[in-house]
Amino acid sequence: MKKVFVLGGTGLLGMATIEELLRKNYEVSTIARNKEVMEDVLPQEVEERLVGDINEMKDEQVLDLLTGTYAFIYAAGLDERTLPEAPAMKFYYEKNVLPTQRLARLARLAGVKKFVIFGSYHTETAKMWPDLKLQEQPYVKTRILQEEVAFMEGEGAMEVMSLRLPYIFGTMPHRTPLWISFFPRVQGQDVVKVPAGGTAMVTTQQVAEAAVGALEHGEHRGTYAISGINMKYDEFYQMISESLGQTDTIIEKASLDMLRPSAKKMDQTVAAEGKEHAIHMEKQIDMQNRNAFLVPEATMSVLKYQKDDVRAEIRKTLAVCAEEMRS
C-alpha cells in the first residue's frame, strides 16, 4: 500500500483529499497544530497523525517524517483574502514560496516520488490575459514562483504537479465557509451591483479526485486548471440573495467604469494604512469583468475526476453561510 503525506489535512480541501485517498486504498499520514481539531475531522483510518507545525521542525525531523512516503500533497498555504502589511509580495513569498521550496526539497531527499501543489487559478488567468499583466501582482507572481521552485526541486527525481484551483464549494464540521465574506454586500440590500464577468467553479470532491488523479496520471511540471462549471457573477450573487430569503433583491451587472473608482479608492485606503492587497482591487475589478472560464473536459480527461452537481454544492455551502449570518 502506497503512503501519501497530506499537508493541511484538517482543512476543507485536505480533509476531502484524505477521504478520497482512503477510498483509493492509499495509506495516509498528516500533521496538524491542533490535536482536538484533528481528532474531530480526520477519519479513523488515518493512523499516522502528528501534532505540530512542520515549518518549525528541523530538516532532519521532516526527513524522518517523510521516509517511506510515496507522495506528498501540499494542501496548505495562504490565499489572496489575506491583507498583509506592505509589501505584499514579500509576505506571500515568505508564506507560500519558501515553505513549498523547502518541503519539496526535503521530500525529494526523503525519496518521495510525487508532489502535488494546491495552487491558484490566478496563475492560469495570468496566462489567459497577458494584457492585464497579472503576473506582476504580488499574489499571482508568488504563486507562479511557488510552482516553478517546486518543479525545479523535483527535476530528475520527483514528479511535481500543480492544481490551479478556481472557486471551490463544500462544507466541513465546525467551520464557516469562506464565502460568508460575500454576504454583507447582499444582506438587506434592495439592489446589488456586480461585475459583468464570471469564473470557473468546482466542488471539494472534484478537487480531491483531481489531486489523486494528479498522483496517478499527472506529468512532471504539469499545471492543471480544473473546473466543474462556469458561472457568471450575477448568477452567483443571485444564489446568495436566495439563500438569505431575499427573493426581491435585484442583482445588476455594473460597468467597469462604475466599479473602478471605488476599487481604486480601496487600494489607496489600505496603502495609507501601510498595507497592500494580494491582488490590487483595481486589478481585481478588471479581472472580474472578464470570463475566467475553463473547459472542464480538458483536465477531466487527463486527471480522471468526475462531473459533480456544483450548483447543488454551492446552494448547500451558501445555506451554511446564511444560517451563520442569521445567528
pLDDT band, residue 174 (cuts 50/70/90)? confident
pLDDT in tens, 215-268: 999 999 999 999 999 999 999 999 999 999 999 999 999 999 999 999 999 999
Is 90 exceeded by the pLDDT of residue 327? Answer: no
Would you say 129 and 290 are in contact if contact means Cβ atoms under 8 Å apart? yes
**DSSP calls for 50-118:** EES-GGGS-HHHHHHHHTT-SEEEE-----TT--PBSPHHHHHIIIIIHHHHHHHHHHHHTT--EEEEE
pLDDT in tens, 97-123: 999 999 999 999 999 999 999 999 999
Phi and psi angles of residue 293, each rounded to the nearest 5 degrees, phi first: -90, 145
Comparing 175 with 253, the larger pLDDT belongs to: 253
| pTM strictly above 0.85 | yes
CA atoms of 299 and 164, how far apart (whole Å) = 11
Angle between helices 310-326 and 204-217 (to 10 degrees): 130
CA atoms of 321 and 144, how far apart (whole Å) = 31
pLDDT in tens, 185-199: 999 999 999 999 999
CA atoms of 264 and 285, how far apart (whole Å) = 9
Question: Which domains are seen in the chain, by residue range?
Answer: 3-174+200-228+293-308 (3.40.50.720)
**CB-based burial, 18-45: b 16+ in 10 Å, e otherwise:** bbbbbeeebbbbbbbeeeeebeebbeee
Comparing 139 with 41, the larger pLDDT belongs to: 139
What's the confidence (pLDDT) of residue 173? 86
Nearest residue to 115 (alpha-carbon basis) of 1, 225, 30, 220: 220
